[in-house]
Amino acid sequence: MTRLLAELLERSSNIVAFTGAGISTESGIPDFRSPGGIWTRYDPRDFTFDRFVESADVRAQSWEMRRELLATVPEPNPGHAALANLEDAGRVLGVITQNIDGLHQLAGSSNVVEIHGNAREVMCIGTAPALGTPDGCGFTASHEWAMERVDSGDQDPRCPHCGGLIKSATISFGQALNPEIMDAAANLAGRCDAMLSIGSSLQVYPAAGIPMRAKQSGARLAILNDEETPLDDAADLVIHGRAGDVLTPAVAAVSSANGDGVGEL
């Protein structure tokens, strides 16, 4: 199977990876289903966008959850590194990720479209956001900026520019996706000649529609996941395995655009 993946990558020069929580489990970040995953201890219905906006108590609980979630900075793993190596070889258009952990960038991938945002940043969502849609002034800051305010006794930090609510720069349950970011993802999916879906259950829409868009635009679709997904029947190649274990040898076997072996980088 690794050889088939290496062959598919070798025949492709404009590869896009679509990644989910499964590429980061090998960095110690649990996905939604794993025992000990954050949502086995917190009820997601308590953290919908509308509840966050409506309730100062929910906002205070949210900061405590985020303190726990981001207490340690995980390291990228061999799966992230393999994708960065494939980019160094000149074969990758970009990475579209559902993850909010920033590990692709830490591994060295440069064109990363984060459709669910980044948990290490916070943003202003305005003074009167409604219907799941942020209405902020554009202010952003680090997660640490917000935690410093919470630690100094302000359970409900506000935007220093417009007084709006401050929220993690991630897409919460019930929150609209950013249309510009979804357009960027759709653009990449429409231009690639191979779409590699890695570590995603492919059950969360509209994000999970991105690999199918690539397939419908003529790209080959490979799915690498440790369990079946609803799109397996539509894929050109399906590998059930662990992301790092499969990607590392497959990418090492691919030559770079200038003829060097990726494994020698």
Query: Could you say whether residue 225 binds ligand NAD (CB under 6 A)?
Result: yes
Q: Which stretch binds ligand NAD (CB under 6 A): 27-35, 136-144, 209-217, 247-255?
A: 27-35
Q: Where are the alpha helices (DSSP H) in the chain?
A: 2-10, 38-41, 49-54, 56-69, 78-88, 103-107, 143-151, 179-191, 209-216, 243-252
Instruction: Say which of 116, 143, 161, 240 is annotated catalytic.
Output: 116
Both tokens of 165, joined, read 């609510």
Contact 238, 211 (CB under 8 A): no
Figure out which of the listed residues 226, 249, 253, 255 binds ligand NAD, where binding follows CB under 6 A: 226
DSSP 25-71: GGGT---SSSTT-HHHHS-GGGG-HHHHHH-HHHHHHHHHHHHHHTS
Figure out which of the listed residues 227, 233, 258, 259 binds ligand NAD, where binding follows CB under 6 A: 227
Q: Which stretch binds ligand NAD (CB under 6 A): 121-129, 176-184, 225-233, 248-256?
A: 225-233
80 catalytic, yes or no? no
Figure out which of the listed residues 204, 234, 237, 252 binds ligand NAD, where binding follows CB under 6 A: 204
Figure out which of the listed residues 15, 29, 93, 231 binds ligand NAD, where binding follows CB under 6 A: 29
Q: Could you give the C-alpha distances from 4 to 18, 107, 131, 238, 244, in angstroms and in order? A: 19, 25, 46, 10, 16
Query: Could you say whether residue 137 binds ligand NAD (CB under 6 A)?
Result: no
Catalytic center residues? 116
Binding site for ligand NAD (CB under 6 A): 20-22, 24-26, 29, 31-33, 98-101, 116, 199-201, 203-204, 225-227, 242-243
